[in-house]
Amino acid sequence: MKLLTTKYSQQQLSVIMMRPLQKIPYCIRQFSTLRSVPKPSAWKTYAAVGAVSGSLFIYYQQRLKVNAASSNSSRIKSAWMSDPITSYEILEENPDEMRCKFEKMIMRVQGELCRLLEKEDNDKKFLVERWARKEGGGGITCIMQDGTVFEKAGVNISVVHGNLPPAAVAQMRSRGKDLTGKDLPFFATGISCVVHPKNPHVPTIHFNYRYFEVTDEDGSVQWWFGGGTDLTPYYLDKEDVSHFHKTLKTACDKHNKSYYPRFKKWCDDYFFVKHRGESRGVGGIFYDDLDNDDQDKIFKFATECADAVIPSYIPIVQKNKNKGYSYAERMWQLLRRGRYVEFNLVYDRGTKFGLMTPGARIESILMSLPLTARWEYCHEPESGSREEELLKVLKEPREWV
């Protein structure tokens, strides 16, 4: 009865369930012709009445289920930031198809995170823009700028399909993908988020979770998952970094205890700014081309990681967002943001893929860039300063759990 009680009270249910019984006198009158038959069998009358009343009962029960399901669908849609890119009807009619499952998951995560960030920033609202890509698909970009707590926050969803350009195919082959064709049909969906706070004592967070399909010339479909979550502090708070990593490790350990150490190292290696000889931040987890297990198992893992974003980050925001800071601390934050920009434009795989994709929406691809950043010629932090403490950690990644 759980489904029925989602919309009606127990008293309302009692009234509704009695309606078929109230129809019995009507049913008896309708079958009065049976009385004209000499010595009719009593069981025939009762059977007829029972059949009709039973049918009425089933009708009302089914109508309740439809209403409850419709109410549930409305609640799901109201939790999203926009209508989905794929029609809601298709998403509902194909609940077991990975494309649909992944899109519904990222729609939910986007809605939950955006509303929490709005709450943390004194109810400042996200600008929500639903856009279409003429080559196929589209996305939902949610942007907050010049808030009290968040200088810039972007939570973007994309669901795109079409043909891969040769440069993108070449990039995938370089990662070991066995693709023989040139203009290959593809499908990609994912969620990408970057939050740049105003306060230098609140770190920047980035996460991205995605699902990809490519159809080769012979009609075979290759699929894989990618994703990760990482933290970029401006001042080192070991307690915060440890909390962040512990939350991600807990999510990984539920699925495979080898995941966290493996993906933590992958994250440290991936987010390394080679020309600076330092990491972008204090890492987290990162994985790509994950296709070596059951598809549903990997999907559940990706969902677990995406759901770990809020508990890993929001407590850090709440702890630090009201701390005071100096002009010098703000300038250091802007210098570190400059390093963030360098990584995203020079090395980031997602940014490069987006810029190579025909019809890509540049505003959404570059939403990860901060509102303000700074470059100084030959800047060096003072010896023994907190700035130098952070720099040492960025040059030599540590184990935080």
> What residues are annotated to the active site?
206
- Please give the Cα distance from 340 to 203 (Å, whole number): 12
Closest C-alpha among 391, 387, 397, 347 to residue 368: 347
Closest C-alpha among 64, 103, 98, 96 to residue 80: 103
- Please give the Cα distance from 50 to 400 (Å, whole number): 69
Query: Which residues lie below 8 Å from residue 347, measured CB to CB, with a gap of 6+?
Result: 273, 274
Closest C-alpha among 271, 283, 203 to residue 237: 203
Q: Which two tokens stand for residue 97?
A: 């198809």
For residues 269 and 208, the answer to whether their CB atoms sit within 8 Å is no
Enter the DSSP assignment of 34.
Answer: G
For residues 267 and 206, the answer to whether their CB atoms sit within 8 Å is no
3-state secondary structure of 308: coil
For residues 103 and 213, the answer to whether their CB atoms sit within 8 Å is no
Element (H, E) at 371: none
Count of CB atoms within 10 A of residue 68's CB? 17
Overall residue count recorded for the chain in this entry:
401
Q: Using alpha carbons only, give the angle 360, 337, 116 rounded to the nearest 5 degrees.
A: 70
- Cα 136 to Cα 12, 186, 280, 401: the distances in Å are 47, 10, 34, 43
